[in-house]
Amino acid sequence: MAVNQKYWNPVLETLSREKIKQLQLKKFKRIFNWAYQHSKFHRQLYDIAGIKPEDIQSLDDARHVPRVDKSMMQGVQGKDPFPYGDALCVPLDEVSVFRQTSGTTGQPVYQPDTWQDWEWWMECWSYILWAQGYRPSDRVFIPFGYNIFVAFWAGHYAAEKIGCEVIPGGALDTRARILKIQELQATAMMGTPTYILGMGDTARLKMNLDLSEWPIDKITCAGECGASIPSTKRRMEKTWGAKVYDHAGATEIGAWSYECMDQPGGMHVNEALFLVEIEDLETGEIIDEPGQRGKMIITALDREAQPCIRFDSKDVIEWAAEPCSCGRTFRLIQGGVVGRVDEITKVKGVLLAPSAIEDVVRGVDGLGDEYEVIVDKAGYSDRIRLRIEILPDAQNRRRPIETELADQLRLKTNLGYEIEVCGFETLPRYEVKAKRFKDKRKKESG
């Protein structure tokens, strides 16, 4: 791999649209046939829908393949071949690693991978890291406790594959991690936006350290959409004096997207390895045009042990209108993953995405990084309470900060909020993924 090469895979990342579609069709046919031949779960699903491998002759035909969602996978598991059940497409002996989803929306889904699948994970991540400027000269610190979740195992191994030097910063506390980064002069880092900001707070407020002069010059975020939310990205970039890039992936899908160094305000879909479709939330039609949001239906075109074919991810995305200036022909999604279907909700009849609130809160100078949104009912009407913290050195500006916050919220989300100022460091802190948005109306109605 030539270090000055711009793309990880110069052929695939610059294919013409026509060639990309041909490749996706060829691979879709292959993975569909593979699942049909090797998994009872998939064969039954497709037989009931009356679709056989030979019926798929175009990407339009692929749109008739039934979708799979998390609840279906939960239903399959715990049976033979234990514990994966009959969605498994390989003999159990070929499974080389177990992972599971985090289970934030119910029972976790088990994810088996073969060694070949694991190499594929590393390849997916190599596209991401190379596009974000990782090179063999980098020393990469991963401030994360590796466990049964996939994060950040594949990022770690891809960095090694590229030729970087990797420091696994797992079993250390936040202060020790910060000191290790300083001691070893790390140049790159991976983490969730919540934790990257949390480290910044610890360094500044508790250790009196200014991270912005340190050699870390790039940070890869995953697990939350913060790196695609402009004001959260700016906060992280300012704190660390580094470029911050987004990436989205999931245990049962793979690492399907990445922001590039041009920071186009969105992420490339890795279309050589994944087929992404966007489905209209109301009509169920597939959206090919830019500018219209819908939920992502995704196929991992090369994953074999437990295939991911037309998986209903519940991520809300939209296609960008313009190609990226970096020269990659992989399509961009505008603004990254905008939210989850179950988070984007109507409040007082207005569609509200939690990421819009985050963009406002993180954009107001003087506010802490943490906040909490609670939607409930006050009598018959919806109410949104926003709990925030004001930084210790901005307490004397409390009134103007609150006014600016309320004005910006009304401007950007068309809604009014009850703002509650909490004592600094009294809101919950999260190590990995934050749960800042609580819709209490759902509990009451269901």
Are 276 and 269 in contact, with CB atoms under 8 Å apart?
yes
Are 371 and 361 in contact, with CB atoms under 8 Å apart?
yes
Give whichever of 214 and 245 is closer to Zn ion, judged by the CB atom: 245
The least CB distance from residue 444 to Zn ion, in Å, is: 44
How far does the chain reach from its first CA to its final CA, in angstroms? 54
Q: Which stretch binds Zn ion (CB under 5 A): 52-60, 174-182, 328-336, 366-374?
A: 328-336
The least CB distance from residue 6 to Zn ion, in Å, is: 10
Q: Which stretch binds Zn ion (CB under 5 A): 16-24, 246-254, 316-324, 349-357?
A: 316-324
Site for Zn ion in 384-413 (CB under 5 A): none
Give whichever of 156 and 268 is closer to Zn ion, judged by the CB atom: 268
Give whichever of 47 and 262 is closer to Zn ion, judged by the CB atom: 262
Distance (Å, rounded) from C-alpha 429 to C-alpha 6? 38
Query: Which one of 196, 272, 326, 353 is in contact with Zn ion (CB under 5 A)?
Result: 326
* Cα 212 to Cα 200, 204, 238, 302, 368, distances in angstroms: 10, 10, 7, 40, 18
Query: Which one of 124, 316, 324, 405 is in contact with Zn ion (CB under 5 A)?
Result: 324
The least CB distance from residue 262 to Zn ion, in Å, is: 5
Neighbours of 421 (CB within 10 A): 16
Give whichever of 38 and 268 is closer to Zn ion, judged by the CB atom: 268
Structure tokens at 82: 């234990």
The least CB distance from residue 326 to Zn ion, in Å, is: 3
The least CB distance from residue 9 to Zn ion, in Å, is: 14
Structure tokens at 42: 């998939």
Give whichever of 322 and 407 is closer to Zn ion, judged by the CB atom: 322
**Helix segments in 192-331, DSSP class H:** 193-201, 230-240
Give whichever of 257 and 345 is closer to Zn ion, judged by the CB atom: 257
Site for Zn ion in 250-289 (CB under 5 A): 260, 262
The least CB distance from residue 395 to Zn ion, in Å, is: 42
The least CB distance from residue 160 to Zn ion, in Å, is: 24
Distance (Å, rounded) from C-alpha 141 to C-alpha 129? 13
Give whichever of 324 and 364 is closer to Zn ion, judged by the CB atom: 324
Cis bond upstream, residue 81 (ω within 30): yes
The structure tokens 């046919």 sit at: 29
Q: Is 296 in the site for Zn ion (CB under 5 A)?
A: no
Q: How many residues at the interface with Zn ion, by CB under 5 A?
A: 5
Q: What angle do CA 340, 260, 248 make, to 5 degrees?
A: 25
Half-sphere exposure of 340 (CA within 13 A, CB side): 13
Give whichever of 38 and 328 is closer to Zn ion, judged by the CB atom: 328
The least CB distance from residue 263 to Zn ion, in Å, is: 8
**Helix segments in 132-263, DSSP class H:** 153-162, 174-184, 193-201, 230-240
The structure tokens 């100078």 sit at: 365
Are 302 and 29 in contact, with CB atoms under 8 Å apart?
no
Residues engaged in binding Zn ion (CB under 5 A): 260, 262, 324, 326, 328
